[in-house]
């Protein structure tokens, strides 16, 4: 649960040994609250010249993997924290050309803003995933629920896509670290623990859906579409695919997998997890994955998976079971093609329809089906 500070501490010592004039040390890493003070102590202790002044500024980054350059050029805000407000203001001048909001605060608060931001976004994901499970039992469609919620400006549409939960290098690590910090402070972070539990359970749901249709998975061939934790990256850190593959192979299934870019990193991740690689067949296309498969699981919502010839996919499969872990297909269409389709929180209500903005004079016709 605790963050690994070795590299930050090593960097602080290296800076101290080379420092021969006043400098502002800017930390952009996501570090536990109070780390700015730790850096200050390390630098002060290791200064080659004890009389050299310096300041420490926390400037957490809010870059998303896959769109880091755009996020840097057009940030929603810049956060700067320091016990030396003049140093923080000097750093702020570097960001003036970006014409964005700049918040200057203290070190502890700046460090906390990053954790709180990521934990809140992870909470939105786990919230909509819990709503998805309720929708599934009650017959509602979580995609339409999310649309209706998102029209409320207080809620917003972002991070309300039900699916397999969050992964990657930030959300899992940061939620765990924040919960750990809360525990170290004598608190019981009930919400954060629930966020992590729901995220884990969402991945387990795939196996539950598979066994509810296929029964035993022993001897089955399960197709996995997507390995990376999200599209447009080959990052396998905390990827749902790893857990899903481990669970289904442990129940006697073999898997056929395809990812447009994460084949090598996926192979390495599965090997690190101790998964028996003889149970995993890496394919060159989604159509190869479907060949003689007893079920197909949509894990990563790559664009190319949204435009597949699903009739061809259906024809290649031994049994037409489609588990849509990212809700990129419509149940009615998949059922018409002959699939046994299961989404995440998809109900049985009428096809969705939305009035154009500002149009209150006509009511859209619901599609029959």
User: Sorting pLDDT into bands at 50, 70 and 90, what band is 368?
Assistant: very low
How confident is the model at residue 292, as a pLDDT?
97
What single DSSP character describes residue 226?
-
pLDDT in tens, 177-214: 999 999 999 999 999 999 999 999 999 999 999 999 99
Please tell us whether the domain made up of 119-342 is placed in CATH 3.40.50.720: yes
The whole-number average pLDDT for the span 223-235 is 96
C-alpha distances in Å from residue 29, one per residue of 12, 26, 92, 174, 225: 12, 9, 17, 12, 33
Q: Please state, in angstroms and rounded to a whole number, the distance separating the CA atoms of residues 9 and 25.
A: 13
Over 80: is that where the pLDDT of 67 sits? no
Q: Which distant-in-sequence residues (6+ apart) come within 8 Å of 346 by Cβ?
A: 135, 136, 141, 142, 143, 324, 327, 331
The average pLDDT across 264-273 equals: 97
Q: Provide the pLDDT for residue 353.
A: 47
pLDDT at 152 over 80: yes
Contact 111, 83 (CB under 8 A): no
Distance of alpha carbon 300 from alpha carbon 259, whole angstroms: 8
Residue 141: its pLDDT value, please? 95
How many Cα neighbours within 13 Å face the side chain of 368? 0
Indicate whether 6 pLDDT > 90: no
* Domain locations in the chain as residue ranges: 6-105, 119-342
Q: Which of 63-77, 129-143, 295-309, 354-368 is predicted with the least confidence, judged by mean pLDDT?
A: 354-368
For position 369, what pLDDT does the model report?
40
Write the CATH number of the domain with boundaries 6-105: 3.40.50.720
- What pLDDT, in 10s, does the model give residues 345-359? 997 554 444 445 544
The reported pLDDT for the residue numbered 93 is 96
Cα 81 to chain centroid distance, Å, stands at 27
Least confident range from 42-56, 246-260, 288-302: namely: 42-56
The confidence score (pLDDT) of residue 289 equals 98
Same fold, 6-105 and 119-342: yes
Find where tokens 């002959």 sit: 338
* Between 341 and 6, residue with greater pLDDT: 341
Q: pLDDT (tens digit, 9 = 90+) per residue, 76-100? A: 899 999 999 999 999 999 999 999 9
The proportion of the chain whose per-residue pLDDT surpasses 90, expressed as a percent, equals 83
Whether residue 170 lies in the annotated active site: yes
Q: For the chain, how big is the Rg over CA atoms in Å?
A: 24
What pLDDT does 348 receive?
59
The pLDDT-based confidence of 290 (bands split at 50, 70, 90) is very high
Q: What is the pLDDT of residues 295-342, one digit of tens each?
A: 999 999 999 999 999 999 999 999 999 999 999 999 999 999 999 999
Q: Please, which residues have CB within 8 angstroms of residue 125's CB and are 6 or more apart in sequence? A: 159, 161, 165, 166, 171, 199
- Closest listed residue to residue 302, CA positions, set 272, 260, 273, 267: 260
The mean pLDDT of the chain is 92
Catalytic residue, candidates 135, 170, 220, 283: 170
When pLDDT is averaged across residues 28-51 and rounded to a whole number, the result is 91
Strands (E), the chain: 23-27, 54-58, 77-81, 101-105, 221-225, 254-258, 280-282, 295-298, 321-324, 340-342
Contact (Cβ atoms closer than 8 angstroms) between residue 79 and residue 103: yes
């Amino acid at each position: 649960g605790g963050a690994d500070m070795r590299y930050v501490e090593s960097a602080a010592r290296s800076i101290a040994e080379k420092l021969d004039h006043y400098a502002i040390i800017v930390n952009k890493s996501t570090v536990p609250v109070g780390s700015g003070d730790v850096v200050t102590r390390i630098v002060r202790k290791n200064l080659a010249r004890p009389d050299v002044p310096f300041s420490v500024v926390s400037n957490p980054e809010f870059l998303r993997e896959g769109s880091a350059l755009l996020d840097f050029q057009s940030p929603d805000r810049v956060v700067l924290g320091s016990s030396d407000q003049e140093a923080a203001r000097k750093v702020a001048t570097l960001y003036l050309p970006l014409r964005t909001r700049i918040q200057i605060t203290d070190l502890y608060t700046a460090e906390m803003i990053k954790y709180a931001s990521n934990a809140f976004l992870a909470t939105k994901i786990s919230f909509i995933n819990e709503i998805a499970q309720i929708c599934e039992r009650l017959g509602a469609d979580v995609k339409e629920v999310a649309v209706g919620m998102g029209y409320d400006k207080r809620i917003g549409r972002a991070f309300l896509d039900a699916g397999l939960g969050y992964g990657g290098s930030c959300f899992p690590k940061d939620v765990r670290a924040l919960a750990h910090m809360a525990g170290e402070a004598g608190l019981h972070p009930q919400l954060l623990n629930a966020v992590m539990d729901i995220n884990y359970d969402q991945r387990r749901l795939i196996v539950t859906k598979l066994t509810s249709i296929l029964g035993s998975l022993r001897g089955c061939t399960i197709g996995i579409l997507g390995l990376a934790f999200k599209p447009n990256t080959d990052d396998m850190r905390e990827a749902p695919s790893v857990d899903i593959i481990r669970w289904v192979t442990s129940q006697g299934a073999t898997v056929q997998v395809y990812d447009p870019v994460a084949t090598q990193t996926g192979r390495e991740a599965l090997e690190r997890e101790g998964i028996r690689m003889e149970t995993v067949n890496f394919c060159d296309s989604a159509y190869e994955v479907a060949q003689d498969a007893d079920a197909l699981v949509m894990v990563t919502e790559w664009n190319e998976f949204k435009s597949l010839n699903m009739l061809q996919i259906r024809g290649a499969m031994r049994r037409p079971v489609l588990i849509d872990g990212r809700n990129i297909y419509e149940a009615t269409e998949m059922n018409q093609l002959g699939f046994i389709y299961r989404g995440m929180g998809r109900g049985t209500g009428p096809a969705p329809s939305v009035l154009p903005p500002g149009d209150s004079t006509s009511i859209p016709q619901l599609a029959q089906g």
